[in-house]
Amino acid sequence: MMRREIDIERLLHWAFASECAKIERDEIKATSGGARRGVGVEAKIAAAGALGCRVDTFPGRSSPARDAEIVASIVAHALPFDAALWVAELSRARRRPDPMIGAVPRLVPVDWVGSRAGRVAAQADAPSVGPEAWPLFARRSRRGAVVHERARYCPCEWVDGYDKIAAARRAYLDWWGHLVVLRAAIQSAGLDRYSLSHDMPPMQPWKHALEITEKLAC
């Protein structure tokens, strides 16, 4: 049978989203450091038959394709369990980690209030910030008396701060690295239906988007 060429991301989508392959935790490996011996699809069917079980042929309940189970097994054994589960969940949803392309840190008010002028930022007393806050300031009232009042300020917070953007892009790079590991492992294993290509998702898509923006600006 002629094998179809496919990239690693599309192969994972096929295995986990289309074929609904699953990853099961190997409790033996997790508790003792050893690994359970791999069991093929044919051996599972034979063992089920020996117990008097039949293969469920009801529409929509068939087992995943053999290649899909091989892919799921490689994902489970080539990556740490948490990483394998994360990759499988993303593949099942046919999506990638969000690298926050185009995100820019913004300083915005914590709260808003309504006024005659419309929607304005909420204010608070400066002494509530702590000892570094502004001291009371003096002003003269209309009657000429000196009045000491508290300074007011607008509490703000960073939205899409640099730490959040950096964490999102680290997660994307981790996912990309997991795909490199899986691509090498699956290429060496060999599949019946598919031939795995060397194509990969972009490593740093935020840089590519920035280059496009700069070209359009010119």
Residues 6+ away with beta carbon under 8 Å from 53: none
pLDDT digits (tens, 9 = 90+) for 170-185: 999 999 999 999 999 9
The CA-to-CA distance between both ends of the chain, in Å, stands at 51
pLDDT digits (tens, 9 = 90+) for 131-160: 566 777 677 878 888 887 777 788 888 888
- pLDDT exceeds 80 at position 197: yes
Weakest-pLDDT range from 92-96, 109-113, 205-209: 205-209
Residue 112 · residue 120 · CB < 8 Å: yes
Token pair listed for 129: 């910030």
Residues 6+ away with beta carbon under 8 Å from 198: 183
Beta bridge partners of 194: 4
- pLDDT exceeds 80 at position 9: yes
pLDDT digits (tens, 9 = 90+) for 32-81: 455 545 555 455 555 545 545 444 444 555 678 899 999 999 999 999 99
Residue 185 confidence (pLDDT): 94
DSSP string across the chain: -PPEEE-HHHHHHIIIIIS-------HHHHHHS--PPP--HHHHHHHHHHTT-----STT-PPPPHHHHHHHHHHHHHS-HHHHHHHHHHHHTT------TT---EEEES-EEEETTEEEE--EEGGGG-TTSPPPEEEE-TTS-EEEE--EE--EEEES-HHHHHHHHHHHHHHHHHHHHHHHHHHHH--SSEEE-S----S-HHHHHHHHHHHHH-
Residue 30 confidence (pLDDT): 46
Residue 20 confidence (pLDDT): 93
The winner for highest mean pLDDT among 150-159, 162-171, 183-192 is: 162-171
Q: Give the span between the Cα atoms of 176 and 170, in whole angstroms.
A: 10
Residue 130 confidence (pLDDT): 62
pLDDT bin (cut points 50, 70, 90) of residue 115 is: confident
Residue 32 confidence (pLDDT): 47
Q: Give the span between the Cα atoms of 76 and 87, in whole angstroms.
A: 10
**What is the pTM assigned to this prediction?**
0.68
Residue 218 confidence (pLDDT): 54
Token pair listed for 53: 């079980």
